[in-house]
Structure 1
Amino acid sequence: MYRRWILLALAISLSLFLIACATATTQQPQAQVSATTETPNSKSQQFAKRIVTLSSLTTDIIYQLDKSKLVGITGSNLFNNDPRFQSIPRVSEGQSPPNLEKIVALKPDLVIGAEGFSNPAVQRLQQLGIDSFLTQVKNWESLEELTKKLAHLIDADPQPLLNRYQTFLPDKPTQNLSTLVLVSRQPILAPNKNSWAGDLLTKFQAKNVAAELQGNSPIGGYVTLSAEKVLQANPEVIIVVNPPQGGSEKTVLASFKKEAFWQKLQATKNNRVYTFDYYGLVNPGSIDAIEKACQQLKQDLFLTNNQK
């Protein structure tokens, strides 16, 4: 149980990727940038033509903007069965760090990494003279800014993709229901407002009961809750997130159902408990994953008891 918690904690803390060795990322390259600051592009002001992406989200965004610029991508189970990416070389697989030899062999003029997962690789690539930088998406605005930045780097028009993002959001107010997102049972872990999930709830006008809470959780943007705290909040809607590792680990909801407090919650009594995928709600993952999560939020937060 403790091992499962550690794996989940590492997955969430990186925001873009699963990683088994977060402690290896403490030394950050001095030239690193976020999605909302200027990119290095130190060699020239020419547009990038050969890009290697080290996160699934930046992979998808670059592909949507101009797929011809992608020469190498990270391995991700989000793309394993996606024919769009089958012919593009992988420079990493699963939780393994990026393979620097593979990256260099692809002769990229820009490498885009994920803060937390890619720091050591980006630092080394910069030492080798390859333009590279880190990105991090923690809210909707940073997703839009990242899209604009990547479009600028490859001389593409971001507007069609930005317009698509807007279709994901509700076009009318939701019921403004008190909502609690649960991503772990041991301990009980929930996103506050300083996370992708928390910001997404705000976009859907849901009253995140953990929005203003702060705590000692090692994961930024998340707080640990006691059973008593959940009972006190007594949300109208509960969203339980399936762990990213999948398989037999998809038992978070089942474990909650075994707890005595669970049946006392109004969300449980009113059958307003929903399960979501990790990608899209907790980790943006990809554009399709975000769209799927938004569609499910529209359905579940607009749904009335009479419709259930």
Structure 2
Amino acid sequence: MKKIILPIILIFTLILSACGNSSESKNGESPTDNKKEEMMTYQSENGPIKVPAHPKRVVVLSSFAGNVMSLGVNIVGVDSWSKMNPRFQDKLKNAEEVSDENIEKIMALKPDLIIGLSTVKNVDKLKKIAPTVTYTYGKVDYLTQHIEIGKLLNKEKEAKAWVADFKKRAQKAGEDIKAKIGKDATVSVIENFDKQLYVFGNNWGRGTEILYQEMKLKMPEKVKKMALKKGYYALSSEVLPEFAGDYVILSTDKKADNSFQKTSTYKNIPAVKNNRVFEVNQKEFYFNDPLTLDYQLDYFTKHFLNK
């Protein structure tokens, strides 16, 4: 009798063991631990959408890579502008460069979430690959935008904490800078891009949000008139002195044609003559995400205060 019972017990034990193992995923996680299968509803600007509660493989098609990375979420595909940013290279070394035209390449990356601007193409095709959320640039301010992405990634608390801390640091730096340069001193943000000069308003990256919105530094009247509403204004090198403030943040690419800096028109601008032009790498200054904003704030603090 004992010889019969023991094999039965052994078989029953093996069955239980097999059932237990089948409840685990291939990577050893149980279904309750496999967070990428959990979904939540995100209220996007286009209506409610089901997205992963804990995304693990995100594709960012425009602008928001720094927001996603700052919240500790993995990116597997990213836009060319983010990929070429020297300050993002280490974090994005394993991410593939993609665009809204690379449908097959994006599909091969097996993303669980796709993020981009409202201007991205092929949205219907992208939605078939993974939940796709788009944002209209400028619809909300740059800090609210980060909080929105925090909500999307189920990290609203972390996003709000960073925003509160950043505002405090930026506003304190602004007070220190105004105390040194004078409350009426003006600052311009100018960029040389593709053989064209641009001056920027208060919400077009390149540090404009920090300088004008948080630090409350003054914008030259000509810049306010021509660039504030649209966000930017294209100008010729001949009229550049009209748009240059007491201080100039000059965004350039060292490999581009910067011959305008050799002209007498440029050299005679007061900010140039007084050594008040702070030249920055446009590839590093382009965005207004937390990683870039922290870098910009540190740069402005050091250069304005000679630290």
Instruction: Percent identity, please.
Output: 16
Asked whether the 8 Å contact 2:199–2:243 carries over to 1, the reply is no
Q: Are 1:133 and 2:133 counterparts?
A: yes
Tell me the CA shift for residue 79 of structure 1: 6.4
* Bigger strand share: 2
- Whole-angstrom distance in 2 between the partners of 1:272 and 1:111: 42
Residue 71 of structure 2 corresponds to residue 60 of structure 1: no
* Equivalent of 2:270 in 266, 287, 292: 266
**Measured at CA, do residues 279 and 83 of structure 1 come closer, stay the same or move farther in structure 2, by a change above 3 Å?**
closer
Change (3 A) 1:238 1:154: closer
Alignment-derived partner of residue 162 in structure 2: 161
When residues 41 and 63 of structure 1 are mapped into structure 2, their CA distance, relative to the original with a 3 A threshold, is farther
Pairwise CA RMSD: 3.6
- Structure-2 change in CA distance of 1:229 and 1:207 (3 Å): farther
TM-score between both structures, scaled by the size of structure 2:
0.65
Aligned partner of residue 66 in structure 2, secondary structure: helix
1:208 and 2:203 matched: no
How far has the Cα of 1:164 moved from its partner? 4.8
Cα gap change, 1:287/1:279 in structure 2, threshold over 3 Å: closer, same or farther? farther
Q: Work out which of the two has the higher radius of gyration on C-alpha atoms and give 1 or 2.
A: 2
Structure 1 residues 193 and 166: alpha-carbon distance in aligned structure 2, compared to 1, 3 A threshold = closer
Maintained 8 Å contact 2:87/2:284: no
| 1:239 Cα deviation from its structure 2 partner | 2.0
CA separation of 1:287 and 1:63: change in aligned 2, threshold 3 A: same
Q: Deviations over 1:270-297 (max 9, x none)?
A: 111110121454433x533322222222
Question: Is contact 1:137–1:143 with CA below 8 Å preserved after alignment?
Answer: no
The answer for unaligned runs of 5 or more in structure 2 is 1-42
1:3 maps to none
Change (3 A) 1:51 1:260: same
Cα offset, 1:220, TM superposition = 4.7
Give deviations 1:137-189, integer Å, cap 9, x for gaps.
Answer: 559x6332222222222322323432453365140523342122221285432
Alpha-carbon distance between aligned partners in 1 of 2:116 and 2:67, rounded to the nearest angstrom: 13
Q: CA deviation at 1:56?
A: 6.6
Which letter does structure 1 place at the counterpart of 2:231? G
TM-superposition CA deviations, 1:78-133 (whole Å, max 9, x none)? 3687444434x4252xxx555212322344342101344xx11434213x273212
Matched, 1:38 2:45: yes
1:136 to partner: Cα distance: 5.0
Question: How far 1:46 sits from its partner (Å)?
Answer: 5.9
In 1, the alpha carbon distance for the partners of 2:294 and 2:68 equals 17
One-letter amino acid matched to 1:205 = K
- 1:109/1:130 contact within 8 Å kept: yes
The alpha-carbon distance between structure 1 residues 193 and 162, as it changes in their structure 2 partners (threshold 3 A), is: closer
Cα distance in 1 for residues equivalent to 2:305 and 2:88: 32
Distance 1:193 1:63 in 2: 24
Q: TM-score, normalised by structure 1?
A: 0.65
Deviation at 1:236, TM superposition (A): 1.3
1:179 equivalent in alignment to 2:210:
no
Structure-2 residue corresponding to 1:14: none
Residue 190 of structure 1 corresponds to which residue in structure 2?
Answer: 199
Aligned residues, how many? Answer: 249
Q: Which amino acid aligns with 1:231?
A: P
